[in-house]
Chain A
Amino acid sequence: MSWKLFNLLLEASLMTIFVSTISILIGLVLAILLSAANLSGIRPLQWFSKFFISFFRGTPLLVQLLLLYNLLPVIGVQIPSLVTAIIGLSICTAAYQAENLRGGFEGVPTGLVESADMAGFTPVQTFFHIRVPIALRLTLPALINEAILILKASSLVSVVGLIELTRMAQNLVASTFMPLEIYASAGLIYLVINLVVATAGRQLERRLPGVGSK
C-alpha cells in the first residue's frame, strides 16, 4: 500500500476527529439539559428525559442514523450529510452521557447542595454552579470512555454519506481492491487516536483536583 493511500486515510481521519469532537461536546450540553429535566421535579420533563435516554441507548446507532437520514427529507429538511452525522451522533451520545451523569449527580455530597441553598443560591444556580461541575468531575473517566466509544461509533456515519475515515477506506477498497491493507490501516489509525485520547484522559484525571471525601 502506497503512502498516497495512507495519507488519504489520515486526511479522512481528521473528519472523524472533527465530527466526534463536535458531537461529544453537543452531546455533553444535551446530557446536562437532560439531567436538569430529570432533576427538575417536573413530571413531563422527567418522563421525556427517561424516554429519551432509554430509547437512544436501547436502539442501534446504525438504525438511528438510517432513520434520521431518511426522515429529514420526508419532513422537508435539506441539510448536508455532515450536519446529519453530527445530529445523529450528538443525540446518541447525549443519552449515554446523561446516564453516566446520573451517577455523578447522585455522588454530589448533599452537604454541598445544602450549603449553596443556605447561601441563597436559586435551584438553577445551585444546579449549574455546584452540581454540574462536581458531577462532571466525578464522571470524567466515564466521559473519556464515552469519547473513545464515539470515535469508534463515528465509523457508522459513513451510511449517511459523510466521507470520514471508514468511508474513505471503503472508497479506496472499491478502487484498489486492497481491503486487507486498507482496513488494517484504518484500524491502526483508530487505535492510535484512541490511545492518545485514553492517555490524555489519564493525564487530565491525574492533574485535576479530586472532589473532597466520598
Chain B
Amino acid sequence: MSDNAISVQHLVKRFGTTTVLDDISLEIPRGQVSCLIGPSGSGKSTLLRCMAFLEEATDGSIFIEGSPLGFVYDGAGKRQRQSANDLRKVRSQIGMVFQQFNLWPHMTALGNVSAALRRVRKMGKAEAEEKAMLQLRKVGLENRAGHYPSQLSGGQQQRVAIARSLALEPKIMLFDEPTSALDPELTGEVLNVMRGLASEGMTMVVVTHEIGFAATVGNQISFLDHGKLLFTDAPSKVFAKPRHPRLEQFLDTYLDRGASTLI
C-alpha cells in the first residue's frame, strides 16, 4: 500500500454551470497534517466535503486507504454509485468535524459521543458510554458528559464533536473550518485538541483560516483559488519568500489578524 491515506484524482465538481473544483489531484500522506487554505469560495470546503462524500463529485475519483469512495468504475469504464453498504465501510475510516459542530440537540454530550457506538457498532449502552467517556476525557470534557449542547460553549461543543468523531476510531480526521464559528477566545482550546491529535500521528486534513495553525502544525499545505489547486508543499517552502503572487495577496488580507507574525 502506498503512503497516502487519501488520493484525489482529477476531481471535478460543478454546480450547474459553475465549476467549483477544476481537475484537482492531491495526495494526503498518512500520519501527517494536511491543510487546505485559500480565499472564501476557492472550493477548499467543497473538496473536503467530497472526501467525506457529503458532496458528489461530477467527475474524477477519490480513494480512501486504497478503496474507491462513492463511485466505482465497472468493466466498461462507466462510473456507478457505490452500494450504501460499501460506502459506509469506506466512510467508517473517516471522521468529520464541521464548522457548525452539528451536535444533536436532543442528546447529551455523552449521548452524542456514544450514539454511533451503539447504533452503528451495536455496542451495549454501558460499554458504549464507557468508551465515549474516554473520548470526552481526551478532549477535557468528562465533567460535561451530562450537558446538552445548548448548555455548552461553542468551543466545548466543537470538542464534543471531535470526541464524537474519534469514538469510532477513524484512521483519518477531516476538519472543515473547525474554529470559524467560534469567538476568538474559544479557538485556542479546539486548536490544542487538534495539536494533541497531530502529535499522536493522526492523519488529518484541515480546511482552515488559521494560517498560524497551518504553518506550525501542518506538514503539507495546499493552496486553492477559484476551484484550482495552485500548489501543494511543505509550510517552510510555501511561506518562504518570494511567495506565489496569489498567496501573497491572500496573506495580505490576514495581516490585520496578526497571522504574519506567526509565519
A–B: direct contact at CB < 8 Å: no
| Residues of chain A having any CB pair with chain B under 8 Å | none
